[in-house]
Structure 1
């Protein structure tokens, strides 16, 4: 993949560390906009779910990053990068769950053709669990581990995902973003444009060839005259 293209694709979204959209309470999470580059200074903006519309927009600082130490449910909301002129990038939704189950969905977009794993995590344990996975409200199935892998991901895999663990509960749902690979439309267009008058082959023989042919015929006629 073109490195410059890859950079521009991911720079259109805030970068989240760790790279996921769901967190338990009391974790740390950073949202970063500084990779956008250029002369404009980008800042992290957010609209918190539990805030009223009158005070939902908050500049974090003059530095284009925001780190939340000891996350709480109230930190759930929409986060994006915006400059002083109001230009903004794509927003992401970060969810802080006070419950016992989260689904680790990557915050950064995944490219078509990649493999992506979604992890269903139970709080305070690293062991595997039988988990049910869902997409857009429909059951995908039961996995006898705490993760499912989507092979060769496509645009049709984009959507809202969640999971559940028996006896522990259900995770919130988060959006998996899938981006098309650069140039996948029109790359294999084999149609040939009609030639214009300057490039279309001439129906007449070149002048030099025509002159030589006439000279040869003249010589033959003179020989047998």
Structure 2
């Protein structure tokens, strides 16, 4: 197969690369300067994805997205006989957040933004007590093991902006669990927010923190997706009942500086999931009885109709 750099594949994501379990996302592969006659191949972490139903027509759709779909995606296109192909596209990370039933990445201090020169500890905690989980990360350079790792714990004594990236727990077999975005800022202001997804119905609280005082700044403007949402003189902003519409990129701004952006994920409450599951379970359990009742009523109806027709026929004969 002859691959040429003249035809270049490029991948983009819609709506965004940060997702919550159950969301939908589409990766789109395009060939510069040409749009027809191509067939596309998709790869996650350099492994070929053979699910053609997801990747038809240059699009690869995950609906619903699950934790195991986390990874770095690339695409390649080919056409003609003999096959003529493009080189591999740019890399597109895709991160699906949620709460793993067994493995969690615990961050200390528990926040997504950190000051440069501060220390950070990340640890994989497995409720099933099985060993073999390590902390890995994806930065602007590559995918690598977390430096200074002891067992399932990674410790960084002095953070730098190059430590900004996505961190997760990975098993010996390659399973990825609990990806978290860690941002390191060399400025004077960071946004303090939950490092984990916020559950629908809970309260989301944000603080604007200053480097020198390590305490909330009293007067701060809070932004979501580039738009001002609140001006506070208490140093914090709270949303008492979080919904899916509150998901997005947040940052704060003060007279001392501006924080970087943090993606806040919102996931469905477990009680709501259980409620839906219980309804579905009830319907599935009751279906045979409902079907039997419908069949029995139909037979009774047919019997009554047959009996009535017989009586009418007998009356006419009389």
Q: TM-score, normalised by structure 1?
A: 0.74
8 A Cα contact 1:34 1:65, kept in partner = no
Structure 2 equivalent of residue 177 of structure 1? 265
For 2:231, the equivalent position in structure 1 comes to: 142
Deviations 1:90-139 (A, max 9, x none): 32111111001100011122211111210011111226421111111221
Q: What is the Cα-based RMSD across aligned positions, in Å? A: 2.9
Distance 1:71-1:81 versus aligned 2 partners, 3 A rule = same
- Name the CA distance, whole Å, in 2 between partners of 1:11 and 1:137: 36
| Distance apart, 1:15 and its partner CA | 1.6
Q: Quick check: 1:28 aligned with 2:119? A: yes
Aligned match of 1:57 in 144, 149, 155? 144
Question: In structure 2, the residue corresponding to 1:34 is in which secondary structure?
Answer: strand
Which structure's CA Rg is the greater one?
1
Aligned to 2:82: none
State the Cα deviation string for residues 130-149 of structure 1 (Å, max 9, x = none): 11111112211211122101
**What SS class does the counterpart of residue 57 from structure 1 fall into?**
strand
Quote the offset at 1:170 in angstroms.
0.8
Match of 2:251 among 142, 162, 166: 162
The answer to which structure, 1 or 2, has the higher relative contact order (CA under 8 A, 6+ apart) is 1
Equivalent residue of 1:195, what SS?
A: helix
CA contact (8 A) 1:13 1:91 kept: no
Alignment partners' CA distance in 2, 1:68 and 1:36: 24
Match of 1:75 among 137, 152, 163: 163
Distance 1:9 1:199 in 2: 42
Question: Following the alignment from structure 2 to structure 1, what is the Cα–Cα distance between the partners of residues 103 and 229?
Answer: 30
1:198 and 1:129, CA in 2 relative to 1: closer, same or farther beyond 3 A? closer
1:121 to 204, 209, 212: 209
Correspondence for 2:128: 37
Equivalent residue, structure 2, for 1:196: 291
SS at match of 1:89: strand
The answer to whether the Cα contact below 8 Å between 1:24 and 1:98 also exists between their aligned partners in 2 is yes
Whole-Å Cα distance in 2 between the matches of residues 59 and 73 of structure 1? 15
Q: Which residue of 1 aligns with 2:184?
A: 96
Counterpart CA distance in 2 for 1:39 and 1:127 is 39
- Please identify, of 172-181 and 122-131, the stretch whose mean Cα deviation from structure 2 is larger: 122-131
TM-score (norm 2): 0.54
Q: Take 1:175 and 1:33, find their aligned partners in 2: how far apart are those partners?
A: 22
- How many Å separate the matches in 2 of 1:123 and 1:76? 18
Higher strand residue share: 2
Runs of 4+ in 1 over 2 A off after TM superposition: 7-13, 34-40, 58-62, 126-129, 185-194, 196-204
> For structure 1, which runs of at least 5 residues remain unmatched after alignment?
1-6, 205-225
- What are the Cα deviations for residues 19-74 of structure 1, in whole angstroms up to 9, with x where unaligned? 1000112222111112353535111001223x2x3xx3225546111111121222
* Between 27-36 and 10-19, the greater mean CA deviation after superposition: 10-19
